[in-house]
Amino acid sequence: SATGNSDTSPPLIENHRYVAQRYAWPPLLYHGRKFHIRVYGLITADGRAYVHQRCFLHVANEKFEYGEEEKNDDKENGAGAFEPSVHITNCCANSHDEAKFSG
Cα–Cα distance, 9 to 88 (Å, whole number): 21
Q: Residue 49: what pLDDT?
A: 97
The most confident of the ranges 12-26, 39-53, 76-90 is 39-53
Helix (H, G, I), strand (E, B) or coil at 75: helix
C-alpha 40/C-alpha 21 separation (Å) is 20
Q: What distance, in Å, lies between the first and last C-alpha atoms of the chain?
A: 36
* H or E, element range at 71: helix 68-71
How confident is the model at residue 102, as a pLDDT?
A: 55
98 vs 45, more confident: 45
Q: What is the pLDDT of residues 64-96, one digit of tens each?
A: 988 755 444 444 445 556 787 888 887 776 666
Paired residues of 56 in beta bridges: 38
* The overall pTM is greater than 0.85: no
Question: Are the beta carbons of 11 and 5 closer than 8 angstroms?
Answer: yes
Q: Name the residue with higher pLDDT: 44 or 95.
A: 44
Where is 52: in which H helix or E strand? strand 49-59
